[in-house]
């Protein structure tokens, strides 16, 4: 809340507003009768108070709608429906291409087009209009009018942007800001002191507010793919050096001609002696998730860590052993679903369900393995994150499901709660429970995270299509599952729509009949039914 004009006048108005609000309930009885005083005309100056609308999924108010990768700190909100059952191009805007280097398959500079992993846009409603924030391989973070596709401003980074931007409110002013990371700035040396892959810009203008870096470590990277998360007045940022920072985004200091945020706490997550086989592949690429007062991060060193949100000390540690790229996704019943890549481990990759209320070594609830497949630089497993239907009816109204796309080529849908038999775990340990399989279809594989919105799954990948699947919870011949209230359902899944374009590495979002997503073909798309008029935008006469 910010006031202009008389401070005393603002205080009086705030008090009057609070006492008149629906939440200001007087006590039912009082031992002292209220004193009634005559009403006097105010002689205080008139002031204007700016009160931001509450942030959140309500489509009818201004505010941050999708704040970060997979929605925010829980990593399980993907937008609101209706989900379109027809996929046509409403608009398309060019992202273009840019150069980068240092990849596993190339020793020199390469050219990438469009948007990549994780590449999910953020969404803000302001003044009754929707705006997208998109990071691209052309090195630019852009603000786009979600109705028309018009680019409103562009901020240029030193390298390609792979991660998803995060929008937050400055704790001192309430103004909106956007923070995003990029690769380090090839071909400069990894030891270059000027590397600063994390940048924060003003939402209205795209003007830089500050930048952030981390010193070189045993990790072979100084990129920033992770999407930060804002909790209270603290922004939590992870960088591929293994550094995690808790920063005050509103306090900065000048250094080397730029503004840098004040760091409140830091931690370095590089694993232990068991990561010796990883060499320098100790990168921290996942986005932080939150349960209670604990921040969870998956590390390339093979660990899922839990950090105290105040001082970033490690309070929980589950070792898996593989390179972990996907973000820990929290469920509404307090568990974590973690994608596991097939690398550095004797067993298969796949998805683990972990219970962080138990000690790390006892935390495994179940494991779903996927088939091994050499594809590009990968050997198998799941590179993207896991989608869940927890925000869309799984709490006692639908069976709790999870969906993910694997390197083996398939989209999988599984039960979160019900297991069926046992399998070998990531370290080839025997007797690990495995969840019921609900649906499996070859979609060409991918590293994008699918979405689960209402009774639909939205998925894109290396099959070069964006697909919509419908979930039928009363399907004839479907898989029998119970919801968390004990009701019986039969669950089936079928594909109902697809759109062909270049490969999709980026994760989409859904908002009121539209799917927004970038492609490796150099474009960013708004897809849906052109005959559907969103409540945000009246139909053209």
How high is the pLDDT of residue 57? 86
154 contacts 141 by C-beta, under 8 angstroms: yes
Query: 213 Cβ partners below 8 Å, 6+ apart?
Result: 195, 196, 197, 198, 222, 239
In a domain, 359, yes or no: yes
Output the CA torsion sign for 186, 189, 193, 198: positive
Q: How far is CA 97 from the centre of its chain?
A: 23
In a domain, 53, yes or no: no
Over 396-437, what HEC string results? CCCCCEEEEECCCCEEEEEEEEEEEEEECCCCCCCCEEEEEE
User: Could you give the number of structural domains in the chain?
Assistant: 1
239 contacts 219 by C-beta, under 8 angstroms: no
Q: pLDDT, tens digit, for every residue of 432-445?
A: 999 999 999 999 99
232 contacts 241 by C-beta, under 8 angstroms: no
In a domain, 52, yes or no: no
Q: Comparing C-alpha atoms, which of 286, 290, 284, 166 is closest to residue 228?
A: 166
DSSP states of 244-287 as a string?
EEEEEEEEEEEETTEEEEEEEEEEE----GGGGGGTT-----SP
Both tokens of 452, joined, read 């689960």
Q: Is 105 exposed, middle or buried (0-12, 13-18, 19+ CB in 10 A)?
A: exposed
**In 157-207, where do the E strands start and end?**
166-169, 176-181, 198-202
Residue 507, domain CATH:
2.130.10.10
Q: What are phi and psi of 417, to 5 degrees?
A: -105, -30
How high is the pLDDT of residue 108? 86
In a domain, 43, yes or no: no
How high is the pLDDT of residue 536? 52
In terms of residue numbers, what domain contains 282? 58-528
Q: pLDDT, tens digit, for every residue of 113-168?
A: 999 999 999 999 999 999 999 999 999 999 999 999 999 999 999 999 999 999 99
Alpha carbon distance 434, 365 (integer Å): 9
How high is the pLDDT of residue 56? 84
Alpha carbon distance 7, 536 (integer Å): 37
In a domain, 77, yes or no: yes
Output the CA torsion sign for 309, 201, 159, 406: positive
In a domain, 368, yes or no: yes
Residue 447 CA: distances (Å) to CA of 223, 411, 463: 18, 11, 11
Q: Tell me the average confidence (pLDDT) per consecutive run of 10 residues in the chain, 541 residues long.
A: 32 35 34 35 41 77 97 97 98 97 76 97 97 98 98 98 97 97 95 96 98 97 98 98 98 96 98 96 98 98 98 98 98 97 98 98 98 95 98 84 98 98 98 98 97 98 97 97 95 98 97 98 97 61 36
> How many Cβ atoms from other residues are within 10 Å of residue 424's Cβ?
16
86 contacts 468 by C-beta, under 8 angstroms: no
How high is the pLDDT of residue 147? 97
Residue indicated by tokens 């005050």? 248
Over 506-529, what HEC string results? CCCEEECCEEEEECCCCEEEEEEC
How high is the pLDDT of residue 473? 96
Q: In what order do the strands lie in the sheet with 387-388?
A: 387-388, 401-405, 410-423, 432-442
How high is the pLDDT of residue 3? 33
Q: What are phi and psi of 440, to 5 degrees?
A: -150, 130
Q: Is 178 exposed, middle or buried (0-12, 13-18, 19+ CB in 10 A)?
A: buried
In a domain, 540, yes or no: no
In a domain, 174, yes or no: yes
SS3 content of the chain, % helix, strand, coil (to 5): 5, 45, 50
445 contacts 461 by C-beta, under 8 angstroms: yes
Regarding beta strands 514-518 and 110-113, do their DSSP bridges make them parallel or antiparallel, or are they unpaired?
Answer: unpaired
288 contacts 239 by C-beta, under 8 angstroms: no
Both tokens of 471, joined, read 């979930």
132 contacts 511 by C-beta, under 8 angstroms: no
């Amino acid at each position: 809340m910010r006031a202009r004009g008389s401070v005393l006048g603002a205080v009086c108005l705030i008090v009057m507003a609070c006492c008149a609000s629906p939440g200001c309930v007087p006590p039912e009885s009082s031992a002292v009768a209220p004193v009634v005083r005559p009403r006097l005309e105010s002689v205080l100056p008139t002031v204007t108070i700016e009160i931001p609308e509450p942030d959140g999924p309500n489509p009818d108010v201004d505010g941050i709608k999708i704040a970060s990768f997979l929605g925010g700190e829980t990593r399980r909100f993907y937008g609101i429906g209706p989900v379109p059952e027809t996929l046509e191009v409403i608009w398309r805007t060019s992202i273009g291409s840019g150069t980068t280097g240092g990849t596993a398959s190339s020793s020199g500079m390469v050219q990438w087009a469009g948007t990549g992993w994780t590449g999910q846009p953020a969404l803000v409603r302001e003044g009754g209009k929707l705006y997208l924030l998109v990071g691209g391989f052309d090195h630019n973070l852009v603000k786009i009018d979600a109705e028309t596709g018009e680019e409103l401003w562009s901020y240029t980074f030193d390298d390609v942007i792979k991660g998803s931007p995060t929008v937050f409110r400055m704790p001192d002013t309430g103004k909106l800001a956007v923070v995003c990371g990029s690769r380090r700035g090839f071909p400069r040396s990894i030891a270059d002191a000027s590397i600063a892959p994390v940048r924060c810009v003003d939402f209205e203008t795209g003007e830089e507010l500050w930048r952030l870096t981390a010193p070189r470590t045993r990790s072979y990277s100084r990129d920033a793919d992770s999407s930060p998360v804002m909790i209270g007045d603290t922004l939590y940022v992870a960088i591929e050096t293994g550094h995690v920072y808790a920063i005050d985004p509103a306090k900065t200091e000048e250094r080397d001609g730029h503004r840098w945020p004040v760091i409140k706490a830091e931690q370095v997550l590089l694993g232990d002696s068991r990561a010796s086989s990883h060499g320098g592949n100790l990168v921290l690429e996942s986005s932080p998730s939150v349960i209670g007062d604990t921040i969870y991060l998956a590390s390339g060193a093979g660990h899922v860590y839990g950090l105290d949100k105040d001082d970033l000390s490690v309070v929980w540690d589950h070792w898996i052993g593989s390179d972990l790229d996907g973000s820990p996704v929290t469920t509404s019943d307090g568990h974590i679903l973690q994608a596991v890549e097939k690398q550095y481990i004797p067993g298969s990759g796949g998805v683990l369900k972990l219970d962080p209320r138990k000690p790390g070594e006892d935390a495994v609830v179940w494991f779903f393995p996927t088939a091994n497949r050499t594809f590009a630089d990968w050997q198998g497993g799941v590179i993207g994150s896991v989608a869940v239907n927890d925000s869309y009816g799984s709490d006692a109204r639908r069976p709790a499901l999870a969906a993910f796309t694997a390197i083996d080529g398939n989209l999988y849908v599984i039960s979160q709660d019900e297991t069926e038999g046992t399998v070998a775990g990531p370290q080839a340990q025997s007797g690990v429970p495995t969840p019921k399989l609900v649906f499996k279809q070859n979609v060409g594989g991918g590293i994008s995270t699918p979405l689960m919105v209402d009774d639909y799954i939205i998925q894109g990948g290396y099959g070069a299509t964006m697909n919509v699947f419908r979930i039928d919870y009363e399907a004839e011949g479907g898989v029998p599952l119970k919801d968390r209230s004990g009701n019986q359902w039969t669950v089936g899944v079928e594909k109902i729509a697809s759109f062909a374009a270049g490969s999709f590495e980026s994760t989409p979002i859904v908002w009121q009949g539209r799917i927004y997503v970038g492609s490796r073909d150099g474009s960013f798309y708004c897809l849906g039914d052109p005959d559907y008029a969103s409540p945000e935008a009246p139909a053209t006469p």
